[in-house]
Amino acid sequence: MSLNPVYIINTAVFFPNKPVSSDEMEEFLGYIDNKPSKSKRIVLRNNGIKNRFYALTKEGRPTHTNAEITALAIRALFGGDATQLKTVELLSCGTSSPDQLMPSHAVMVHGLLPETNAIEVVSPSGVCCAGMHAFKYAWLSIKAGEIHQAVASGSERFSASLVSGIFEDEAQKLKALEANPYIGFEKEFLRWMLSDGASAFLMSDKPNETGFSLRVEWVEGVSYANAKEACMYMGAEKQKDGTLKGYLEYTAEEISNKSVLSIKQDVKLLSENIVPLGGAGLKAALEKHRVKSSEIDYFLPHMSSEFFREKIFNQLNENGIGIPYEKWFVNLTTLGNVGAASVYLMVDELLHSGKLKTGDKILLLVPESARFSYMYSLLTVCPPATQKGVPEH
């Protein structure tokens, strides 16, 4: 059976509201126990993020749902021509911050796109890798010849989980016990890193008639959950033995008092594992597909913090797959950590940057600290189909 080539033929983004500077963050997210955070300055110094986006007013009121920002990014793929939505045969939407447990994120997005037909939708769960899982499902569906055109998306609306009200009951309980009313670092750490936004890819078995396309050469994923305990989690509390106790095992009062619904991260576990495991997975993926790191023209690593830049660089060199900094393309400092959408946002900015030329190789790396999963992909820049010599296989 012959397999179809698959191309990203357009990308689009949507950010809610204006960018929020580091100085303004607590005006939107609120103060815990009416006091400025002690951890904020330290975390911001390390992560290097200057701006991020929140689907919030300064009073902390929501302005958009996750489904809404995703639908708006998808509409932007077609330049406002809603009739073109009928060409979409599959909607594959990844996120780690759906608006509700049920129905799934993708069907809620589909519900906001009434111009589409009755089509297949899929909602991969997970954290940062969820967007890449959505991408891979769309890629495989087109590659197998089941459909001709699909939309894959990555999106997040983290801000709803970062507002001070999520943590206030726990702070007040600690204060009443004459304990330190500041929330533990593992709970507050991510407040100063996460951002809201959405991005979408239009994918097809035919390249663009005009303008560049990005041919998807391969997509690889690996999980190390067989050997590692949970590092980032939400709706659960980590026990002394490393297991997670889920929110369904807590009373409503305990969920509030312990801020069980907040996003938490085991920073020590993160620092020990995220880079070495990601480097091992990337080396294996490149070897499997017989690609040398020297062949890469643009390296797009999703980083939660600039703190990891040098560590990733050194790890790749140690693994014999070094990529010089001049080939890196990252937009963390201007957009923040947008989780499942981050790699989409990098691809979108690079595609529209005017930097690309035919034949360029683009390597994507997406780590997920939840229980140490990774996704990798290689893209090749292709000329318009109207130009002779466009590679099809």
SS3 content of the chain, % helix, strand, coil (to 5): 35, 25, 40
**Mean pLDDT computed over every residue of the chain:** 92
Separation CA 224–CA 69 (nearest Å): 32
DSSP helix/strand/coil, 351? helix
Say yes or no to pLDDT of 177 above 70: no
Q: What would the pLDDT profile of 181-205 be if each residue is shown by its tens digit?
A: 444 546 667 888 999 999 999 999 9
Q: What would the pLDDT profile of 300-347 be if each residue is shown by its tens digit?
A: 999 999 999 999 999 999 999 999 999 999 999 999 999 999 999 999
Contact 380, 215 (CB under 8 A): yes
Give the architecture (CATH level 2) of 7-163+182-206: 3-Layer(aba) Sandwich (3.40)
Check residues 178 and 136 and name the one with the higher pLDDT. 136
Separation CA 258–CA 273 (nearest Å): 27
Enumerate the domain spans of the chain.
7-163+182-206
Structure tokens of 326? 């001049």
Say yes or no to pLDDT of 147 above 60: yes
| pLDDT above 90 as % of the chain | 79
Give the pLDDT mean for 58-65.
94
Give the pLDDT mean for 261-288.
94
- Residue bearing tokens 């609120």: 30
Q: With bands split at pLDDT 50, 70 and 90, how would you rate the model's confidence at 391?
A: very low
**At 154, which amino acid appears?**
G
Separation CA 227–CA 281 (nearest Å): 14
Q: Which of 157-171, 245-259, 300-314, 342-356 shows the lowest mean pLDDT across its residues?
A: 157-171
Say yes or no to pLDDT of 389 above 80: no
- Model's pTM, two decimal places? 0.93
